[in-house]
Amino acid sequence: MAGEDEDTTGRVDVTRDGPVLRLTLHRRTRRNALSPGMIDTLITALTDAATDEQLRVVHLSGAGEHFCAGVDWVSTNDAGRRPPAGDLVRRIPHTAHRVIELLHTCHLPVVCTVRGWAAGLGCNLALAADFTLADTDAVFWEPFLPRGFSPDSGATWLLPRLVGLARAKRMLLLGEKISATEAADWGLIHATTAPADLDNATAELLDRLASAPTVALGLAKQAVHRNLGTGLAEAMDNELYALELACRTADFKEGLAAFRQRRAPGFQGR
């Protein structure tokens, strides 16, 4: 039965809506907690999207009342079996960590829509997206320390860069839950809206990104991330190589023509 399958293993719906790739987490009875199969689907979909010239933006969301409660540790770990030494070190770089890496490095812009809980890996998925929109009832939580283990999936890298060291420690070391309004005020997410307005706000942002100069946008995203750990001279070198590539695109020519003709550009993503 479909409901039984969703409850035990979950699924990720992968659909194309014109230039938008929609990835929707489906496991409502467990707040869309991620099973191994769901993580594998995300990895495959994001890997394929990175080389799909027809796509211009990725949308990540959760079905129902919640975005994602993280990895389903209860169902994916056998209480009667002690994992061998090094088990997590072997597995996680190719599962949860790989999803975060793909969201971060993909040249396509990623928009995440959050309702309800975004916890653990679910929180970090939202942080790794380029733009996260949440309704005012959403909650962001890094529950690693309250559960007795240390953070993973990029939490210790993403949070200090987004909100600073002191606030990152509040979330990671004290396990504080952060409301969507507070998250937006901190700069943790792009924006928050009333629950009834979230879908429209998401659609407007997706339309804006889908009509942008996709190649230049991807190069800018790459430069921003790469230059987080560089000095000014290296950062400007990175910008220069990105600019050289952007200036060879059809969208660059269209942008110049639109400027000369005093009209809005019609970018094609090439």
Q: What is the pLDDT of residues 79-133, one digit of tens each?
A: 556 666 566 667 777 789 999 999 999 999 999 999 999 999 999 999 999 999 9
Indicate whether 4 pLDDT > 50.
no
| Confidence (pTM) | 0.91
Under a CB-based contact definition with an 8 Å cutoff, are residues 159 and 176 in contact? no
d(CA 215, CA 184): 28
> What domains, with CATH codes, occur in the chain?
2-210 (3.90.226.10), 214-261 (1.10.12)
200: exposed, middle or buried (Cβ count in 10 Å: 0-12, 13-18, 19+):
exposed
d(CA 132, CA 127): 7
Please list, residue by residue across 138-154, b when 16 or more beta carbons sit within 10 angstroms of its beta carbon and e when fewer do: bbbbbbbeeeeeebbbb
Residue 11, beta-bridge partner list: 26
d(CA 111, CA 220): 16
Amino acid at 200: N
Non-local CB neighbours of 73 within 8 Å, separated by 6+ positions: none
| Mean pLDDT in residue range 48-70 | 96
d(CA 107, CA 220): 9
